[in-house]
Amino acid sequence: MGRPRYQNGHLKLSGERNPSWVGLFYETVRGDDGQTRRIHRSVILGLQSELTKTEAKRKLQEKLSRFQNVLPDAGVPLRVFVEQKWLPLKEAKWKESTKLTSLGIIQK
């Protein structure tokens, strides 16, 4: 898994009559198949009449803090990472000549 991104998310106002602060951010989740995906999330923080923008940002940071304490798996060897994560992503974009050369270099 990649390094923590320590995102800040962002705010937007939603609604016309009673606008609410909405916090938007991405969450990285691991599926049943072991693949990781980024999912767009939103959370309602409160009414604009009750919260200033600064208070809404602070409240969003509290919500995001639970995602930022996740450490990457340090037990994954480099070989496993390259073979299972990095190589399938890169190999799909390579021409046949590049693939033959690069795979030989990686295996050495």
Task: Tell me if the pTM is above 0.75.
Answer: no
Dump pLDDT digits (tens) for 58-99.
999 888 877 655 555 667 788 888 888 888 888 888 899 888
Under a CB-based contact definition with an 8 Å cutoff, are residues 66 and 25 in contact?
no
3-state helix, strand, coil in the chain (%, to 5): 40, 25, 35
Which residue range(s) make up the domain with 64?
1-71
Is 91 found in the same domain as 38? no
Is 82 found in the same domain as 65? no
pLDDT surpassing 90 at residue 33: no
Is 54 found in the same domain as 95? no
Residue type, 39: I
Is 85 found in the same domain as 35? no
Sign of CA dihedral 27, 80, 82, 87: negative
Is 39 found in the same domain as 9? yes
Residue type, 50: E
